[in-house]
């Protein structure tokens, strides 16, 4: 089993030291239930196009099961057409302290969320000045639920 241990925060975008590169992500959900989600994701930057199929179990407040597999881009294009809702987001990756942070800004730039993946539940980390309220575990900020609203 592979667990994902992740913390999420809202972001004060005026304080973010943006790196030069970003990735554009299109992501859809083949199913989205109370027990878990199956998503297809396509990522592009100026040089590369990659795609994945990911299953995530229900979040238990601290972790969830995650299985992710790279898939051919043509398969991803076919699968994403089956998704009732697709979200688009820009992603930046920043190093802060010993950890890598991911910032996602959704469709219309009205929502930005920072994520940090940890090795264990109680792992300590340096909190950047650009993160604000913690929203870990709040279903309102799950990507699968954001997809329903956008």
Residue with tokens 């913690």: 134
HSE-CB at 108 with a 13 A cutoff on CA atoms is: 5
Q: Which of 29, 55, 120, 141 is catalytic?
A: 29
Whose CA is closest to 118, among 99, 97, 103, 104?
99
Rounding to the nearest 10 degrees, give the CA dihedral for residues 117, 67, 59, 107: 70
The answer to whether 141 is a known catalytic residue is no
Residues designated catalytic: 29
């Amino acid at each position: 089993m592979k667990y994902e241990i992740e913390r999420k925060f809202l972001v004060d975008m005026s304080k973010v030291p943006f790196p030069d590169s970003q990735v554009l992500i299109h992501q859809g959900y083949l199913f989205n239930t109370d027990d878990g989600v199956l998503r297809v994701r396509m990522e592009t930057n100026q040089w590369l196009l990659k795609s994945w199929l990911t299953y995530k179990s229900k979040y238990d407040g601290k972790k969830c099961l995650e299985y992710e597999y790279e898939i051919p881009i043509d398969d991803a294009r076919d699968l994403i057409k089956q998704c009732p809702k697709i979200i688009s987001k820009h992603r930046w990756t920043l190093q802060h302290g010993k950890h890598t942070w991911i910032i996602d800004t959704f469709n219309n730039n009205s929502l930005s969320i920072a994520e940090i993946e940890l090795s264990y539940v109680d792992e300590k980390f340096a909190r950047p000045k650009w993160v604000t309220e913690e929203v870990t575990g709040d279903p309102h900020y799950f990507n699968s639920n954001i997809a329903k609203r956008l």
